[in-house]
Structure 1
Amino acid sequence: MILSHKHRYIFLHCRKTAGSSISVSLARDLGPDDLQLSGLKETHQAGIAYTRRVMREALQLHDRAGAKRIEDRLHLSGMLGSERRAERARKLIHRRYKDILGDYPYHARASAIADAFPTEWREYRKFCVVRNPWDKVISDYHWRTRDTDQPPSFEQFVKAIRDGDRLGGIVPGEPDNWPLYTIDDQFAVDDVIRFEDMQVQLNAVLSDLGVAWDGWLPRAKKRKTDASGQQKNAAVYTAELADIVGQLFQREAEAFGYSEPAKLSEQ
């Protein structure tokens, strides 16, 4: 999530829709009082500084013990290096906003943002990106198992989402993007950009906002491949798995006319 007072917009970060890449790109033109919660690690890696607000609010955790607060200040001073400074700021700002926006402040729900920032929610332009759920689940599977030596199969991953099984943290806590841009099942944003036409539609929104965007979208999160260049773990839909995903994300699929893959495995 990004809340920009400079350009009067709220970017709602839906999962696996290039949200981190968009956040890094937008971070280049944020004002000092703008709040960025998405893509902070990738923003630092791109050599872009956090906003003054992020750094200031990272220290506003009054429930921390005195020794811990001294340690926070030591990290944020930069005396231990820029990497540790950025990492500590990211952790602290996320912890601070968990109490305000829920367990995943970078993927905050529309209702939580509306409650936390009612004036900005009413007056600023709000936009997000959506993606075909079947493609999103495959992307999520590759990302969530990228560092796992013995990853679950794609079938296990899909069925774990259905069953509410986190698989030790591999399955995301909130896999459905629908609550991130709707309130009471109604669209709560001004612009819903399709992942499939993201460059054109995002450029149109940002142009209306007066943001001079050059179209740069870094590959913020890279997938691992094997020696042949293929994805590390196979993800193939059977009819059963495609049907499970269709049921899990039915509201989003129907709202945007998304359909299941044309080719399904016969296994």
Structure 2
Amino acid sequence: MTIISNTHRYIFLKTRKTAGTSIEKWLCGALQEGDKIATAPENLPLPVGFWDTSNEVSHFKVGERIVKQFCCHVLGRPIGTMLREHMRAAAVKDLVGEEAWGTYRKYCVERDPWDRMLSFWRWRQVREKVELEFDAFLDMIEQSPNSSLVRGYSNYLIYTIDGKLAADRVLSFRDLHQDLQKMCDELGLPLSPETLPFQKAGHRTREDSAAGLTAAQVERISRLCQAEIDLFGWDFGKEYG
């Protein structure tokens, strides 16, 4: 999801494998007319207007896509039709304009790259209906990072612009309930993190613990995700030592 809430004056940038679909469904409880959202298929239909989502609703997939493409390219560009899931900060900034970008609070969630990569690997296997060893998955990222199976392995460009953090607050996946409560307090949202639903769960096994990664796997992930590691100061030894 990407959310632009004119009601509460915030922007939420959806990162991958950070409970984004669950947070999206939860945040929809405080959206009002005029707020914009690009939703995940798991959450459709949501209580938002036709023009407020770039995804198709479950009962009108093809038709809605055609109508919105027509409106986007022929009649103009309604903001709702331009939002996308996992939209990069730079693209959201261009869409909402300097004033909203500069005055609205901007949020996202991030997760340490070693744990997130394991979750991403399991999820993509389920989604693409393939079986792939973890080392082979890392091979694909290194050799073909834009292939459909591994594209999006890093969240870095979702919350940065020109190498600088664009979000005002990056919520910690590990401390998610606590950080969501802080967000509610800051924005005055009438929500409780205790009601956060669970979506897309159950793909990982007990063996999928970052603590069980080999030294070589840790090094490879660290190299692939060096930009976010530098930004947040993550250290595998401190996280899992």
Q: Give the TM-score band, short-chain normalised.
A: 0.7 to 0.9
Query: Per the alignment, do residues 194 and 94 of structure 1 end up closer, same or farther by CA in structure 2, a change over 3 Å counting?
Result: farther
Match of 1:249 in 2: 225
Match of 1:213 in 2: 191
Q: d(CA) in 2 for partners of 1:183 and 1:146?
A: 31
Q: Does 1:18 align with 2:16?
A: no
Three-state SS of the structure 2 residue aligned to 1:107 is coil
Match of 2:100 in 1: 120
Measure how far apart 1:11 and its partner are: 0.1
- The within-5 A match list for 1:54-133 is 54=52, 83-85=58-60, 89=64, 105-118=84-97, 119-133=99-113
Pairs aligned (count): 231
Match of 1:31 in 2: 32
Match of 2:175 in 1: 197
Rg: which structure is higher?
Answer: 1
- The within-5 A match list for 1:122-201 is 122-147=102-127, 150-165=130-145, 169-172=148-151, 174-201=152-179
Q: d(CA) in 2 for partners of 1:49 and 1:43?
A: 10
Structure 1 residue runs without a partner (length 5+): 59-75, 77-81
Measure how far apart 1:123 and its partner are: 1.6
Letter in 2 for 1:53: W
Q: d(CA) in 2 for partners of 1:155 and 1:24?
A: 33
Q: Does 1:53 align with 2:51?
A: yes
Measure how far apart 1:224 and its partner are: 3.9
Letter in 2 for 1:142: R
Q: d(CA) in 2 for partners of 1:190 and 1:231?
A: 34
Structure 2 contact 6–34 (Cα < 8 Å) conserved:
yes
1:2-60 deviation digits (Å, cap 9, x = unpaired): 11111110001111111111111001221122111143x2223xx742335326x77xx
Query: Per the alignment, do residues 92 and 195 of structure 1 end up closer, same or farther by CA in structure 2, a change over 3 Å counting?
Result: farther
Q: d(CA) in 2 for partners of 1:3 and 1:93?
A: 19
Match of 1:258 in 2: 234
Structure 2 residue runs without a partner (length 5+): none
Query: Per the alignment, do residues 88 and 258 of structure 1 end up closer, same or farther by CA in structure 2, a change over 3 Å counting?
Result: farther
Out of 208-217 and 88-97, give the one that drifted further. Answer: 88-97
Structure 1 contact 2–34 (Cα < 8 Å) conserved:
yes
Q: d(CA) in 2 for partners of 1:123 and 1:249?
A: 30
Structure 2 contact 37–83 (Cα < 8 Å) conserved:
no
Q: Percent sequence identity over matched residues? A: 29
1:180-213 deviation digits (Å, cap 9, x = unpaired): 1111111111111111111111111122111011
Letter in 1 for 2:8: H
Measure how far apart 1:251 and its partner are: 1.9
Match of 1:43 in 2: 43
Q: TM-score, normalised by structure 1?
A: 0.73
Superposed CA RMSD in Å reads 3.5
